[in-house]
Chains A and B, each alone.
Chain A
């Protein structure tokens, strides 16, 4: 069967070389995690080590548990009644984030998140970016100004919005809004950025911009991205995890997953035969 190489995409027209990455230090250690929504089990015995300063992609068909696992990493699932991690541990730098002593507010400052649908606050661009900083009590204007510029440059948005920082963030286009959300997330300087299908609501051009941005961000942040778009996973990520029915089926270097999957289900999924 002829599998078209996912490393060349018609959308960008360019190929991004992905060299087999050396194994880096582990930042997040997901250790035998079972997760429940009420009585129904969403994750079964997940084991996964996410490496520092790498892009890790979670792929799999809808309902496979990849978003659930992502939201476990900054405990966003706490906001949903009746959810619990039943067994196992999730450790970041060796600390169990579900331990009673962990300050979930502090955790979320360290593990930022970008959502599927762009969700800037109904405030100005400037206020959107400084929101997280003000929460931390930082209020000096020069400090905030500097962070706003740095974050917007980091999110490749500065040139487009520098003249209208004080207009509403809701006035931006969809792609700009999503990059604003990324800028908002990196403004508080997290270690990890979780991205939950960040491009699923964007057009192809905006998608390319966000993907390029991810390539730049990987030098500074550890990124975990959930995506439905396998080509996107292939283009952007160093490591890929394939989930199915709440189980981790295969986790390996991205190139290996797409070119030479060890598991038959993985091969069926990445070649588009189901899912």
Chain B
């Protein structure tokens, strides 16, 4: 008798069709495939973050050396006097503005011919010339000192280069050649002696300069209207304030010491709070993010001011008021805007929008608008308008979702209590979806602040902090942005240079900004989900 085979009763649960490859069943393979995709995206994100930091972090060391060189080579010393000189330049600019106003007054109000107006201004011109020329000795001094300091810096940089060269040769094992590289050590004390030696001369020159300015002010002619006289008085006041800074300058020069260490944190604070972004300069490079940050923030603000009412308003209309027919037309149209490549929008901004805005600003009936007329067609306003176009679809879609999520029961209850459609929208629907709308706006902001092409083409690319004293007219000034500067300069910089690394740090700041905005938006959305229950 054969032994009975195991009956089907004992193995009916065993899957006989199971195929295994490398010990993995089909289900396992699917799981690994999808899980793998998720892991890849996380790895990519981690790698991006890692390289961003890896490239960027070296900036602070380099910037510290940069600042140290600035001090050791005496550039800082010269800049004390240069600041004094540029203060004077600002004052003479004020003076020429004053002259222009007086001239316009003569032409427009007193109907003088241009020749007669210039004639009448002869005395003023004399005064302005006397005032302007007073600075010449100081200016000469600055330019001499600039040459000397530049020479020291160049010498130092050459020595540094040689050091690097020798290091590289040593690493390559070419010891003889390395020994042949001559390094001229820079004796800062001796070199700087030339600079600091000028102090007594400076003091004398500066005192004479002050005297000349005082003398010039004394002969300032009267101007023809009270309003202009007020301006002249203001000018007097500004000059006095300016003169009052002279002793401080002298003191800075006296106490200056090239051996004083540059604290490490200055490498960071000079970046985060630096008001100048100046690269490839013959004098001194500055990497301060403030003008770029301000540019980005201003452009984004203008974009939001335009896009929020448009996007949220359209969302409310579509979700609450529009008929099904209108929904079918409007919704895809708005969402279609995001299909435009941003470079096309930028092109449109230059060719059409900037041009039309400038034309509009020069119409006399719009002269009351702050900042009108303006001559720069590429400015914060132009870029902001275009960015608004980019933000509208984002804000619209997300805000509409938020409105859609408001339970219908709320609306019904409101209507049943005798509310009109408008009352229901304002008092029930919008408050109930407010956090969703806010996060829609924040995500729109995130979209806008990271946008590159439009701002690069349309923001005007002038690296300067916008002049907020102009009030609302500030939006007609050109700016540069964080995204724009990276796109513009990254292609030209030497890999590993301080400039290259500075751009990476700008990228890091941008990264954290977007991260923060998205984080807050998500927090708000989560809170909102809970509150609706």
Contacts and interface: CB of A to CB of B under 8 A. Distances in A.
Interface of A: 74, 76, 79, 81, 105-106, 108-109, 112-113, 115, 117, 119-123, 131-132, 135-136, 170, 181, 184-185, 188
Contact of A115 (B324, B409, B418, B532): B409
B520 interface: no
B418 A79 contact: no
Given A106-B418, A122-B432, A184-B413, 5 more contacts: A108-B415, A108-B417, A117-B409, A131-B419, A135-B417
Contact of B413 (A105, A109, A121, A135): A121
Contacts of A117: 409
Nearest to A133: B417
Contacts of B428: 121
A76 B410 contact: no
A113 B420 contact: no
B174 interface: no
A74 B432 contact: no
A184 B418 CA distance: 12
Contact of A74 (B324, B407, B416): B416
A43 to B, nearest CB: 20
Interface string B417-436: 11110010001100110000
A151 to B, nearest CB: 12
B397 interface: no
Contacts of A136: 418
Contacts of A122: 410, 431-432, 531-533
A212 B362 CA distance: 75
Given A119-B409, A122-B532, A105 B418 contact: yes
Contacts of B419: 105, 131-132, 135
Contacts of B533: 122, 170
A108 B416 contact: yes
B324 A121 contact: no
B532 A188 contact: no
Contacts of A132: 417-419
Contact of B418 (A109, A119, A181): A109
B432 A185 contact: no
B410 A112 contact: no
14 contacts: A76-B415, A76-B416, A81-B324, A106-B418, A108-B415, A115-B412, A115-B416, A121-B428, A121-B432, A123-B431, A135-B427, A136-B418, A184-B417, A188-B417
B414 interface: yes
Q: Which of B409, B410, B413 has the most CB of A within 10 A?
A: B413
Nearest to A194: B416
A185 B423 contact: no
Contacts, number: 69
Nearest to A134: B427
A49 to B, nearest CB: 23
Q: Which of B412, B418, B419, B532 has the most CB of A within 10 A?
A: B418
Contacts of B414: 121, 131
A214 B56 CA distance: 72
Contacts of A131: 414, 417, 419, 427
A49 B531 CA distance: 43
Nearest to A103: B418
Contacts of B411: 79
A168 to B, nearest CB: 8
Contacts of A105: 418-420
Contacts of A74: 416
Q: Which of B411, B412, B416 has the most CB of A within 10 A?
A: B416
Contacts of A79: 411-412, 415
Interface string B380-396: 00000000000000000
A170 B413 CA distance: 14
A135 B418 CA distance: 8
A117 B417 CA distance: 16
A206 B420 CA distance: 32
B423 A115 contact: no
Interface string B503-533: 0000000000000000000000000000111
A115 B411 CA distance: 12
Q: Which of A108, A112, A170 has the most CB of B within 10 A?
A: A108
A18 to B, nearest CB: 29
Nearest to B428: A121
Given A122-B432, A131-B427, A185 B416 contact: yes
A43 B403 CA distance: 33
Contacts of A184: 413, 417
A105 B420 CA distance: 7
Contacts of A113: 412-413, 416
A185 B417 contact: yes
A74 B415 CA distance: 10
Nearest to A168: B531
B500 to A, nearest CB: 52
B60 to A, nearest CB: 48
A109 B427 CA distance: 17
Contacts of A106: 418
Contacts of B432: 121-122
Contact of A181 (B323, B413, B415, B531): B413
A39 B169 CA distance: 91
Nearest to B416: A113
